[in-house]
Structure 1
Amino acid sequence: MRNDYTTDISTIKIDEDSFVDIYNLYWEKVFSVCYANLGDEEPAKGMVQEIFKSLWERKDQLEITQSVERYLLRSAKLKVFEYIRNKKIREQHHESIAARQVQAVNYTENEVMLSSLSDRLRSLIETLPGQCRKVFRMSREDGLSNKEIASALFISERAVEYHITKAVTSLKSRLTEYSF
């Protein structure tokens, strides 16, 4: 004879037979709650199994103050909420990983472009006339002022300005021809 599982479970000793009865009576309702909230059959089935597995594993420690049905349906709702929360956390984690990968790809791409541009710029500087190249390097690479360059090369500051302007104009026009 089957027990009435709509009463307080604390009066019911869950053994293998009563567990089978409870499972057969309520698994469809538990599944319905899970499926209705998720719309996905596989996770809903897994949740049903987890709920009944937990019921069996904790049968000796459980103190349920409501009917078995209410306990199981509440467990199903909590399991669904937990699944949705964890799914959102996983999605955020995946989005974060994807964003970092895009940044890494962009960083790598930028490094390659910078290296290529630097190589191109070095080769263009090498094509500048001798004095113009020397003045440009002293200004841009060594960080010297026009006055210091003029003093070091024994030329006027006006000549230094002329060479820098000539170098920058030449490099700009030749770099704009260079496509990425």
Structure 2
Amino acid sequence: MANLPVPTLASEISGNFFTAALARAGIYNAGTFLLNPPLFVGTQGTTQSVTSSSWTALTLDTEQVDSYGGHSTSSNTSRYIAQVAGVYAVCGVASWASSATGVRGTRLHVNGSVVQGSAQMTLPSGDSGSAIATPVRTVRLAAGDYVEVAGWQSSGGALATTVTTDVACALWVCWSGT
């Protein structure tokens, strides 16, 4: 049951009888939507080269869940586009190849602008790569707004993201209310 609208509860008027239509509008539609809210989990299945000292939207070419069809694996693959207006919980991860030079970071963007308080920065771990998650942030999206996870690194040259069985760049988006 994808792409259900946010239900509007039926207006009760004094003297109305409780009908099947009223039950559907007031209970069934709301319950169905709340049991099937917009949810997206996308990951990177192919590594990406990221230029030094430049925030870069990370591509997500694999979908674990996309209950409302807000993501494309062929066009603007870094974006989840809200199909339903509301408040969303959002979190992202940047996963980096090994390099002992510079700093690594990740943050969230809404319509290309940074989500305040979402950036995380760390020094590289040296021999092994690093993965950096943003904190979960709550953002208000109109239908058509988009969310991205972006990565930043300062190794002095291009640095690849990594994809392993348990770590990859990712974006998680879940509708949480109106």
Range of TM-score over shorter length: under 0.3
Higher relative contact order (CA 8 A, sep 6+): 2
More strand as a share of residues: 2
Q: TM-score, normalised by structure 1?
A: 0.24
Structure exhibiting the larger radius of gyration computed from Cα positions? 1
Q: TM-score, normalised by structure 2?
A: 0.24
More helix as a share of residues: 1
